[in-house]
Structure 1
Amino acid sequence: MDFHVWLTYLAACIVISVSPGAGAVNTMSNAISYGRRRAIASILGLQGGLIVNTLLVGVGLGALIAASATAFMLIKFAGVAYLIWLGVQKWRAPVNYAVSTHDVEPPPAGRLFWQAVIVNITNPKAIVFLVALFPQFLDPQRAQLPQVLILGATLVGVDIIVMCGYATLAGALRRFVQDARRMRLQNRIFGSLFVGAGLLLASVRRQGA
């Protein structure tokens, strides 16, 4: 892969990662509710899901999912249901000052990690996007696996940096929501954003459909 081709791909990755989506909502919600350090678990989970999607595309399953209406719809509506469920849970979350004072333990890091993994894996839009994006930057005259690994590592690296930025921004706002009214408001805002992300995912159509 030529360096100028990689730079073009890097620019595309930055635009993609900065664009708010379910992953950004998940990261900011966790950073505000539990702090930036706890949000790292969800950021790593998002990357785990992204790596799975990248591997699916790399071995050709992504193209199959993108081409199969049934597979696409099953994954899409699983993702829609999961995001809406997260939104309802966030909307109904109890207001508890103790989370900020460490009197009550926040959710285990493992739970936040796997929750984020599912958020990305059940997003067929990401798979379809990778199917459409990767071929534009792969040189057919060179070995495919090293190129897929480079593209995947670049996307993951960029996404980690961007999600850490979202977490830092959200974490800085955490001290402003440490009363019952504001905590309830932020729960409902992020609950609504999760539901909104689910509804947006529901509107995604398979390419060529």
Structure 2
Amino acid sequence: MDIEHFSIFFITTFLLVLVPGPSALTAAAQGASLQSSKAFIGVLGIASADLIFFGLSATGISALIVASSTLFSVIKWLGVAFLIYLGLSVLLSKASAIQFENKKIDARTGKLFRQGLVIQLANPKALMYFSALLPQFINPNEPLLMQLAVMALTLFLADCLVYSLYGYLGFHMARQKLKAWLIRLINRAAGLTLLFTGIKMAMLENHGS
């Protein structure tokens, strides 16, 4: 993967993870109730769930590459369309303030990890997102495993960074609200980035050409 493709992948992944959702609220709630170091266990659960979704998507995409370059190209263009649709959806979504509740949470390590894991696994949008995103950045003419390893590591680090940030916010903003304007700003940035990614991928020269 060249530096241009990697940069787009990193920024897009980071901003999409940043969009507030159930996993962000879980990380914030754990952070509001626990020390940041303890809440990080829940963050690892969320990141592990995303790696599972990533693995499922990568397995399917890899099979397409082996089976048919034409079919892979079709999926790639469907992915471009989905990224544009997803970008518009996030961009136009309405945002309201998020309350961080400082309530008691079971602090057992296994419980925290499972909570993060289950919350994220219950969000099938992540699977759809990875299935749409991966074909845009995979070069069928280069070693596949290394490309997937780089993207998986990037995703894991983005998850850990962003959800740790939500845990930190929860710890320091318990009983306060994350303002609606800030949530709108995050959504706008992520939506515009997804639109940019879809359009940019449609304009870039196909790897297989």
Task: Go from structure 1 to structure 2 and tell me whether the alpha carbon gap of 1:62 and 1:137 turns closer, same or farther (over 3 Å shift).
Answer: closer
Residue 162 of structure 1 pairs with residue 182 of structure 2: no
Task: Number of aligned residue pairs: give it.
Answer: 142
Task: Go from structure 1 to structure 2 and tell me whether the alpha carbon gap of 1:136 and 1:160 turns closer, same or farther (over 3 Å shift).
Answer: same
Residue 20 of structure 1 pairs with residue 2 of structure 2: no
What is the aligned-residue RMSD (CA, Å)?
2.8
Give the structure 2 partner of residue 32 of structure 1.
32
Aligned partners of 1:159, 1:146: CA distance in 2, in Å?
Answer: 20
Residue 115 of structure 1 and its aligned partner are, at CA, apart by 1.4
Aligned partners of 2:118, 2:62: CA distance in 1, in Å?
Answer: 16
Structure 1 counterpart SS, 2:53 = helix
Gaps of 5+ in 2: 65-74, 76-100, 178-209
CA deviation profile, 1:87-107 (whole Å, cap 9, x unmatched): xxxxxx9x97xx6xxxxx943
Aligned partners of 1:62, 1:171: CA distance in 2, in Å?
Answer: 41
Give the structure 1 partner of residue 67 of structure 2.
none
Residue 30 of structure 1 and its aligned partner are, at CA, apart by 0.8
Are 1:23 and 1:46, in contact at CA under 8 Å, matched by a contact in 2?
A: yes
Give the structure 1 partner of residue 127 of structure 2.
127
- TM (norm. structure 1) is 0.61
Residue 111 of structure 1 and its aligned partner are, at CA, apart by 0.5
Are 1:63 and 1:131, in contact at CA under 8 Å, matched by a contact in 2?
A: no
Aligned partners of 2:63, 2:108: CA distance in 1, in Å?
Answer: 35
Q: Following superposition, which runs of at least 4 residues in structure 1 exceed 6 angstroms of deviation?
A: 61-64
Gaps of 5+ in 1: 68-92, 100-104, 187-209
Residue 63 of structure 1 and its aligned partner are, at CA, apart by 9.4
Instruction: Give aligned-pair identity as a percent.
Output: 25
Give the structure 2 partner of residue 118 of structure 1.
118
Aligned partners of 1:59, 1:140: CA distance in 2, in Å?
Answer: 14
Residue 143 of structure 1 and its aligned partner are, at CA, apart by 1.7
What one-letter code is carried by the residue in structure 1 that aligns with 2:7?
A: L
Aligned partners of 1:15, 1:8: CA distance in 2, in Å?
Answer: 11
